[in-house]
Copies of this chain bind each other. A is one copy, B any other.
């Protein structure tokens, strides 16, 4: 018998109507003969509402209590979903992260899963009961309630699929799959029927918002095939799975963009060994996630070091950099928030070296200046002015013939 994990995000269970639609879908899956484990997020904007309430109550918001607060959201959605399933004659039982045996470390608000026990879920399945599990939450080794941070419900779903040996993990959301570009920017963007974990990782890392990077990594490491689908249209979605070596890979699968980064430049840095190491150690100590790093060729014994950080970390990064001006013998710190990353992702790139050249030529022909470049075996990312990012995505999408007219 097939075992499927179905995860429904906040928009999929946003109100009573949506919850009933989700229950109908789960009931259909059961009637088709599959075993199902369900993972749900909190309803719609429930989490935002709770955070707003917390802000009204106190300026001090300890992580342990934030986690206690936020984990109430999934209790509500999962209990309601179980009621709707009961009305449809589907035996179901809700389980908190703790009851499901999702054991995490003790880092509140961004805990990592240490172990998935899942005994009660297996017992429920053995009794033909559909377990409905709270996403995003677990219980720490010290028996406190924890949350898994951003994208946590996807991570819960994938972790459960791995622990229970599920045949696949279906992620239901408000988009119908992974596209060759953001359809809001590129009207003829094409839904990709199938992509590899590696491509999905690059897409998630460079601005594709469909799946959280972390859950894709987890799925790849545990060989859990993913299916991303819409819970509004229920149309076929995108399958994310191991690369199939017997098939030829598309050279480029998708164009992504990311406007959530800023560029920070330390100008006139003394070009001595160890300078960069010292800077990035200090940034890491502040838990600042540096993405791209470029160091220019040295002129007259000094160089410029530029790096990108999430917009939220600009102030802290600037502080770190400025505190090191003397140590680095640097002239000044320049921050630039009007930047965007535009990336090409494709598994076939590994064997098609011409992609970079085509990308640069396409952007040059549009008069778009490239400020920084970074590459992986299956990705090329260029930093451009944020004002031209949308146009860059559109011309690259056309140049690589990714639209539905070419499928």
A interface, CB within 8 angstroms of B: 16, 19-20, 50, 53-54, 56-62, 64-66, 68-69, 71-73, 75-76, 78-80, 82-84, 86-87, 93-94, 96, 98-99, 120, 143, 145
Contact = CB atoms under 8 A, between A and B. Distances in A.
A59 B59 CA distance: 41
A65 B53 contact: no
Contact of A57 (B20, B50, B60): B20
Given A57-B20, A72-B72, A75-B75, A65 B50 contact: no
Total copies of this chain within the assembly: 2
A57 B16 contact: yes
Nearest to A99: B143
A145 B65 CA distance: 20
B78 A75 contact: no
Contacts of A120: 143
B61 A68 contact: no
A57 B75 contact: no
A68 B57 contact: no
Q: Is the interface of A mostly helix, strand, loop or mixed?
A: helix
B83 A62 contact: yes
A392 B54 CA distance: 48
Given A75-B69, A76-B69, A94-B65, A83 B54 contact: yes
B99 A80 contact: no
Contacts of A94: 64-65, 68
Given A16-B56, A53-B16, A57-B16, A79 B83 contact: no
Closest 10 CB pairs of A and B: A69-B79, A16-B56, A72-B72, A58-B83, A68-B79, A60-B87, A72-B75, A60-B86, A65-B82, A58-B87
A65 B127 CA distance: 17
Nearest to A46: B72
A84 B58 contact: yes
A62 B65 CA distance: 29
A50 B72 contact: no
A60 to B, nearest CB: 4
Nearest to A52: B16
A86 B68 CA distance: 15
Nearest to A134: B68
A259 B96 CA distance: 41
B53 A76 contact: yes
A83 B71 contact: no
Nearest to A16: B56
B56 A83 contact: no
Contacts of A64: 82, 93-94
A42 to B, nearest CB: 10
Contact of A50 (B60, B76, B93, B145): B76
A85 to B, nearest CB: 8
